[in-house]
Structure 1
Amino acid sequence: MSPPQRQVLPANVKPVHYDLSLKPDLTTFKFNGEVTIDLNVKETSNFIELHTLELELSEVQLSTKEGKVAPKETSYSKDDQSTTFKFGDNVLKAGESVQLSIKFIGELNDKLSGFYRSSYTENGQTKYLATTQMEATDCRRAFPCFDEPNLKATFSISIVADKEYTCLSNMDVKEEKSVSETQKKVVFNTTPPMSTYLVAFIVGDLKYVESKYKFRDIPVRVYTTPGYEKEGQYSAELAAKALEYYEKVFDIPYPLPKMDMVGIHDFSAGAMENWGLVTYRMVDLLVNETKTNLATKLRVSEVVAHELAHQWFGNICTMDFWDSLWLNESFATYMSWKCCDHFEKDWKIWENFVGDSLQMALSLDALRSSHPIEVPVAHADEINQIFDAISYEKGSSVLRMLANYLGEETFIKGVSHYVKKHMYANAVTEDLWASLSEVSGKDVQSTMNIWTKKVGYPLVQVSEKNGKVTIRQHRYLTTGDVKPEDDTTVYPIFLSIRTDDGVKEFVFDKKEQELDLKSSDFFKLNSDTTGVFRVNYEPERWQALGAAADKLSVEDRIGLVADAGALSVSGYSKTTNLLSLTSHFKNEPSFFVWSEMIARIGAVKRAWLFEDESIKEGLKALVRSLVSDKCHKAGWKFDSSESFLEQRLKALLFSAAAANGDQKVIDAAKNLFAGYIANEKSELDPNLRGTVFSVAATHGSKKEFEALVNLYKETPLADEKQEVLASLGKFEDKELLTKVTDMLLNGTIRTQDVIRPMAGMATHRAGVEHLWDFVTSRWDEIVKAIPASLTLLAYVVDCATRGFTTKEQYQKVEEFFKDKDTKAFDQKLAQALESIESRAKWVSRDSKDVADWLKVNGYSS
């Protein structure tokens, strides 16, 4: 099947330079603008087509060698989001340069896209700032432009604003001059050649902190609205060090004269890598060294490192078109883990990666409704849907696998070669493979094309018979029903096998192969879980591996538990195999292995949500048997002398014990909440805060609800706000849940945060049922409040269906959406339906087995 035709602008002209002036008004929420675009004429013609969206255009003028001319005709295409100006015949002559000037008016919208407004409260008063979010195709909302990544140009930007406001853009300030008693004009230096989606400008009352660590003579600053700036110091210091680190790693100097990072109160994504002016959600940028929990600190570190990696891989060298989005996002994800590992060795970042990024990738890519890493994109509407775990997590997992195969040093040299070769230009995936092949001397392209162009990944089935060990690969699907047409790809698997004699490595690129091993030997496939595949063993081998935990690395043990959990969902292995395996790991020391075990048993609990209570109570008893003693012994007081991971494990055990009915821990959490609300805030460690709030909601009523809502309104801490929102979904009383869902649409909760309470509801039966009723009964309001252009709408659909586990619920979802416009989230909807189907099959297949195992092992009567 041939790829769909790209929806792109005609190639008769090419932009070279933009001279842009903007005048935003934060009272009327309008902005006036003027843009002059220098164009090279590639083909003799009589028209210019460029992108515009929700802009009112006036005074259009074309300057040529012959003079100035206005268009004879102007037309707009809603589908293409473009305006076409027609001039006299052959006004545009090939080889000449012309200038197109346009005046325009736009709206500082509340859609979190283009040039938009963000609100915040200061001393009880609502205030606003104007900011931008151009990726993927929203620069056209801010000014008329050629809004495609491979149409790079330079930009000279100036902003007219009130004198008390700070004005920021990609570059440093060239000059600032007064234009009236109250207003100034800020002119910025010209940018290097860059794509429109990276253009940024911000106007508002902003304060900053600057890094104390000096990165050359380049100022590295974090800006926020007043009162938050001190919490930006952590990110400022990390950013200065990360820029220096990336300079050395890539062997390419950071080319801009400054690096500004800005916390925005209303923001659709996590962060955006605008060149020299990176924007963030507040929670993904700010760290209070005494009040921020460690999980948030890790998240902030990873996000900052991710965005700064983009300054090279994405900004200097940019993907040619959106079907190569993974080139930007996968690599920035991989490099962010590498950067964090460089600075924080005791965080064990690559162990974290195996339980986090890799498992997210394998989970989504196990669905038929997944997509290849390189996915054909034709229309602007399709682009937002590919900002998902395939483009980020699967891509970064494939890069980690490749780096392990080539050797990390060789891999990075190849990447540096690629960026240098395509500096200030655009590239495609084959260009990266070419550079890696040139540097490594290996045929990277033929091996890696399969991993990026094919959907899915393999399951390696290990068979042991007559003392011989044979492996066979076929596609893995969560639904377990692989058909011949699903299984045509033979993956080149970089296979590493851990044995008593060390690690053996080779490329397994056949359907079946006998290994040079005896079934009496100790072995474990996918050493350190570097490969992007699952492994299934004979039942006896699973038992042996569970008993041989001391021979396995932490990454091995995470992978083993993850594979056992995933294979039970798809039916390749019994769920009781997972339950037995986790029982072997009761003395496990690693936070990451515990996290994986608790998550996998949690997945069983959620799949059995609408089943017999005795099974759910038995599963809770199993978790208590694993964590309670360990939790009680560790306690819930934290000490700064404890390591990062010791503290995270203590918090995890407390959370698991509370969620699974440990009364001692539940009582402790209730007491901590009562003290916290009574203003004894020092008594509640930030690492326990989210769990304590959840316990208060799960076991609480109107009193706890009101306390949490007040806390949400009053706390200045971004991560605490998120913890409160997640807990609000945990109430079981229908009246309180109705109040929560009302808050999602009445402005109490910011649009960007609506999925937080929804995710909380999706974890328990009353919440699942209430959330579905809310979404279906108020769908029109939801679509109006959350524009389809935002990926948020897809996540609303995901949350609303995430807790469903039966065929009847599958049919309800299918029926509701059959007459809806699902264009903006059709992939997410297909994935949701497939996930419900797999859970229904899982429960039907393994219910008796799980019930019997729980009885035999004393967890249920």
Structure 2
Amino acid sequence: EFYIASLGEELVVGQQYVLAMEFEGYLNDALVGFYRSQYTKEDGTEKLLAVTQFQPTDARRAFPCFDEPAMKAQFDVYIARQSHMTAIANMPKIDSTPFDDDTDWVWDHFNTTLPVSTYLVAFMVSDFVNISSTFNDHALFRSWAREQVIDQAEYATEAGPAILTWYEQYFDIPFPLPKQDMVALPDFALSAMENWGLITYRERALLYDPVVSSSMDKENVANVVAHELTHQWFGNLVTMDWWSDLWLNEGFATYMSYLGTDSFEPTWNITDQFVISELHLVFALDCLETSHPISVPVEHPDDINQIFDSISYSKGASIIRMMNNFLTEDTFRAGLTNYLNAFAYANADQDDLWEALTTQAHTDDNLPQDMTVKTIMDTWTLQMGYPVINVAINGDGTATLTQERFLLILNKNSTDTHIYKWWVPVTFTSQENPDFSQTKATDWMADSDDTLTINGLPSKENWVIFNIRQTGYYRVNYRPSNWQRLIDQLLDDYSIIHLINRAQIIDDALNLARAGQLSYKIALSVNSYLENEIKYVPWSSALNSLNYLKSMFTRTGGYGPLREYLLSLLTPLYDLVGFEDNTDDPHLDQKKRSMALDWACDLGLEDCVTNSVDLYNEWMADPTNQTIISANIKSTVYCTGIAEGGETEWNFAWDQYLLTNGASEKATLQSSMGCSKEIWILARYLEMAFDENSGIRKQDSSSVFQAVARNVIGRDLAWNYLKENIEFISSYYMSFGELGDLVATVTYEFNTEEELNQIIHFRDDNIEYLDSATLAITQSIERTSNNIDWMSNYYDLILDWLKDNGFGRWLKKRGPFIYSA
């Protein structure tokens, strides 16, 4: 991927040169570089458009360039187009001139860009239309889409300028461009791309239709828009020096997207959802030996593609959130502004950020003069994983803290000799004076400390909670006596404990039990208070954690008793929210209902299944009526209707998929068609996913595969399809980590020696096709090994607990564990 020019003489520093060469680029259909897309208008005519996607290393497909982030340049863009089309680029258009003597073609010339990395250059030629906003007084804001769906861009066109303006105030730096375009594309490999002044989106990430889109779809639009607009500062104005610091871009954009969305939709309380959407999500990956540090060396484009993962995004965001809390908001903001101003239109690495924040923290007296942000944060970015803090309450007003790396399984044969220790910000509160507002560290546990003694604790009879609002990137374990006091408090009056810490307690307990560091008797007892819990965040945390038990039991004789137990927890919540949706409910109540119905129907709760099937049949009888099924419960109703039906129900969904113009509706139908219980239908659906003439776009093939793979009936079908077609599938994808996503999803529930051997053989037999999925394969092997150990250690134990608590009393304890596929 290099062009080497042999020069006739040495170059002179300071002299400008022009390098001319022949270059031929292809307007491809691979969703990378400068590529073509198409869509069908309402009158049946096919329309083409051409657009760019350059991140990380595909600008070189469109024009010769120094295609590395640190080699910023200013670009003059000229585009030839037909007169009935429109061209847009990073900067506003200067003028249009005729193309020689051809009156049907014109040259568009655009303003010179500011210094920018090649991966952020963008342009598009299309027949799209736009709507605009002048909310921001110095930057024109426009949203572009197909004419038949442009009205669905209204919400994003309201949210975008408001969030951009809020960011200007937050960073105290004005947006430097005269315009900001956002484009909804029918074919796009990613969710969105932050090109400076021309942000491109998958249609579902930008378009919102109040009639057919759910409250979750609306939240997704606001969050993705906020994420991409953060990049206009973090990534575009200041760019990472090399891809090893990708997390500086994506971690900040992920963290700030919550603040930006909250500024526009404050009633959503979206910042409370951070722990379940980001922190707990990445905890599940970062507890593997095959995780990787946030800042990781990359040398090849395949290496770059693989680190666009939850470590860069969610862990990056989580440690930034931690840093915000231990530095305080004012110091954090001032330090960021200084950093952005110092490196504007240039590049930086994480040490540059640490220096700016340290200087501000010392000025504000929020960090001891002999301590630096680099000292603290290098322990979080340069080594993988995270600690569990073990708290021993001594009874004399003190507690002793120790730390160790949290791993699901301690591998006795591990070759990793690194000693994992972190600088840990310590916060705590107690039953004596429960205060969950103080998230600035009161103590620090250094990476050199074997133990830390904390003073100021109450008497032994009072519970304590460490890691207030789970702002620290770590788990906490206690002695059984403190766990029992927490359980008693939750049963007596759970509202005393902040809802984020309720989510923390549930997630920590179940994962500590999974790792053998806490008894399952205690962990499952924590859940006993849930019959009274009414808040979305703790419930989401509980169900996310319990999903592991469900996934391990799905193919065993113990699934029945576990299902009874899960329904005993869930039925009170189902009764509370009711099946009938109310779009006037608060946002989180709508999400809570959707979550409860999804789980209830999946577990076979009769009332949920019956209502869903009836609604689906009613819709089949009147397919043009979009009001029959509320958008918030469509995913549950569609999935259940198709699962309980047959070919007729599936074909009806497919017909609606082809007819609908709504991107969110297409996505819901797409996922739901994977719920069928007919093996031949699922097999046909998999074949359609990788056939560009089937009606399923290339961008959606991964989603279809994963929908089938998540179906208990479709999992083995999807796995066999992947194994048999790996050469074709690997060539089908040319961007980011789609192949890795397929592997991770289809192997998630593997828990037998036979399945482990299958993954290993799959890797060994197809190594030449798996360059972009090596990390996902390695992590799938470790997950499966961990699952096998868990089944051996805890399956019978959980069965005994279920039996002792009245679930599945007819079951007998099994003999030695010999389960295989």
> TM-score scaled to structure 2, two decimals?
0.92
Residue 188 of structure 1: aligned partner: 110
Superposed displacement of residue 694, structure 1: 1.4
SS at match of 2:76: strand
Q: Which residue of 587, 592, 606 maps to 1:644? A: 587
Distance across 2 between alignment mates of 1:465 and 1:218: 60
Residue 257 of structure 2: aligned partner: 336
- 1:114-144 Cα offsets, whole Å, 9 max, x none, are 1011121223333221011100010000100
- 1:70-95 Cα offsets, whole Å, 9 max, x none, are xxxxxxxxxxx01112232x153344
Report which stretch shifted further, 636-645 or 317-326.
636-645
Report which stretch shifted further, 417-426 or 732-741.
732-741
Distance across 1 between alignment mates of 2:197 and 2:772: 31
Residue 663 of structure 2: aligned partner: 718
Task: Write the mapping of 1:565-714 to structure 2, written as runs, cut at 5 A.
Answer: 565-612=510-557, 615-678=558-621, 679=623, 680-714=625-659
Q: Which residue of 434, 446, 451 maps to 1:512? A: 451
Question: 2:92 aligned with 1:92, yes or no?
Answer: no
Residue 815 of structure 1: aligned partner: 761
Distance across 1 between alignment mates of 2:387 and 2:705: 33
Task: Write the mapping of 1:64-83 to structure 2, written as runs, cut at 5 A.
Answer: 81-83=1-3
Report which stretch shifted further, 227-236 or 670-679.
670-679
Superposed displacement of residue 103, structure 1: 4.1
Letter aligned with residue 506 of structure 1 = D
Letter aligned with residue 713 of structure 2 = A
Contact 2:581 2:633 in 1 (8 A): no
Question: 2:740 aligned with 1:794, yes or no?
Answer: yes
Residue 819 of structure 2: aligned partner: none
- 1:349-379 Cα offsets, whole Å, 9 max, x none, are 2210011111122111111111111111122
Letter aligned with residue 628 of structure 1 = T
Contact 1:598 1:623 in 2 (8 A): no
Question: 2:126 aligned with 1:126, yes or no?
Answer: no
Residue 776 of structure 1: aligned partner: 723
Task: Write the mapping of 1:102-141 to structure 2, written as runs, cut at 5 A.
Answer: 102-122=21-41, 123-141=43-61
Question: 2:453 aligned with 1:524, yes or no?
Answer: no
SS at match of 1:97: coil
Superposed displacement of residue 781, structure 1: 1.7
Contact 1:234 1:287 in 2 (8 A): yes
SS at match of 1:167: strand
SS at match of 1:697: helix
Superposed displacement of residue 465, structure 1: 6.2
Distance across 1 between alignment mates of 2:702 and 2:410: 30
Question: 2:481 aligned with 1:540, yes or no?
Answer: yes
Residue 457 of structure 1: aligned partner: 386
Question: 2:132 aligned with 1:210, yes or no?
Answer: yes
Contact 1:635 1:650 in 2 (8 A): yes
SS at match of 2:531: coil
Superposed displacement of residue 775, structure 1: 0.6
Contact 1:591 1:648 in 2 (8 A): yes
Distance across 2 between alignment mates of 1:486 and 1:587: 46
Question: 2:367 aligned with 1:446, yes or no?
Answer: no
Contact 1:264 1:280 in 2 (8 A): yes
Calculate the aligned-residue CA RMSD, in Å: 1.8
Residue 805 of structure 1: aligned partner: 751
Contact 1:675 1:681 in 2 (8 A): no
Superposed displacement of residue 564, structure 1: 1.8
SS at match of 2:3: strand
Letter aligned with residue 424 of structure 1 = Y
**Stretches of structure 1 lacking an aligned partner (at least 5 in a row):** 1-80
Superposed displacement of residue 585, structure 1: 2.0
Report which stretch shifted further, 459-468 or 255-264.
459-468
Contact 1:768 1:803 in 2 (8 A): no
Cα 1:576–1:706 change in 2 (3 A) is farther
Report which stretch shifted further, 192-201 or 790-799.
790-799
Cα 1:585–1:505 change in 2 (3 A) is farther
Distance across 1 between alignment mates of 2:719 and 2:416: 35
Report which stretch shifted further, 561-570 or 399-408.
561-570
**Stretches of structure 2 lacking an aligned partner (at least 5 in a row):** 810-821
Superposed displacement of residue 484, structure 1: 9.3
Residue 682 of structure 2: aligned partner: 737
Superposed displacement of residue 152, structure 1: 0.6
Task: Write the mapping of 1:200-599 to structure 2, written as runs, cut at 5 A.
Answer: 200-211=122-133, 214-441=135-362, 442=367, 443-464=372-393, 469-481=399-411, 485=416, 488-499=419-430, 500-501=432-433, 502=435, 505-509=442-446, 510-516=449-455, 517=457, 518-548=459-489, 549-599=494-544
Contact 2:308 2:736 in 1 (8 A): no
Cα 1:484–1:197 change in 2 (3 A) is closer
- 1:718-756 Cα offsets, whole Å, 9 max, x none, are 112111121222222211111111111112322222222
Superposed displacement of residue 172, structure 1: 0.2
- 1:792-815 Cα offsets, whole Å, 9 max, x none, are 111122222123122220111101
Distance across 2 between alignment mates of 1:495 and 1:759: 40
- 1:296-353 Cα offsets, whole Å, 9 max, x none, are 1111111100100111111111111111111111111111111112222221122100
Distance across 1 between alignment mates of 2:415 and 2:393: 25
Cα 1:183–1:774 change in 2 (3 A) is same
Contact 2:168 2:174 in 1 (8 A): yes
Distance across 1 between alignment mates of 2:594 and 2:10: 69
Letter aligned with residue 443 of structure 2 = F
Cα 1:576–1:836 change in 2 (3 A) is farther
Distance across 2 between alignment mates of 1:627 and 1:796: 30
Distance across 2 between alignment mates of 1:616 and 1:783: 35
Superposed displacement of residue 98, structure 1: 0.8
Report which stretch shifted further, 228-237 or 459-468.
459-468
Letter aligned with residue 733 of structure 1 = E
Superposed displacement of residue 627, structure 1: 2.3
Residue 162 of structure 1: aligned partner: 82
Letter aligned with residue 474 of structure 1 = E
Question: 2:815 aligned with 1:854, yes or no?
Answer: no
Percentage of matched positions with identical amino acids: 33
Report which stretch shifted further, 343-352 or 271-280.
343-352
Distance across 1 between alignment mates of 2:131 and 2:382: 44
- 1:173-196 Cα offsets, whole Å, 9 max, x none, are 100122222111111000111100
Q: Which residue of 147, 171, 180 maps to 2:91? A: 171
Report which stretch shifted further, 764-773 or 110-119.
764-773
Residue 838 of structure 1: aligned partner: 786
SS at match of 2:294: coil
Distance across 2 between alignment mates of 1:574 and 1:762: 32
Distance across 1 between alignment mates of 2:669 and 2:483: 41
Letter aligned with residue 404 of structure 2 = H
Superposed displacement of residue 288, structure 1: 1.0
Distance across 1 between alignment mates of 2:314 and 2:661: 32
Contact 1:469 1:519 in 2 (8 A): no
Distance across 2 between alignment mates of 1:573 and 1:729: 37
Aligned residues between the structures: 776
Cα 1:182–1:484 change in 2 (3 A) is closer
User: Between Structure 1 and Structure 2, which shows a larger proportion of strand residues?
Assistant: 1
Contact 1:570 1:838 in 2 (8 A): no
Superposed displacement of residue 681, structure 1: 2.6
Distance across 2 between alignment mates of 1:751 and 1:780: 16
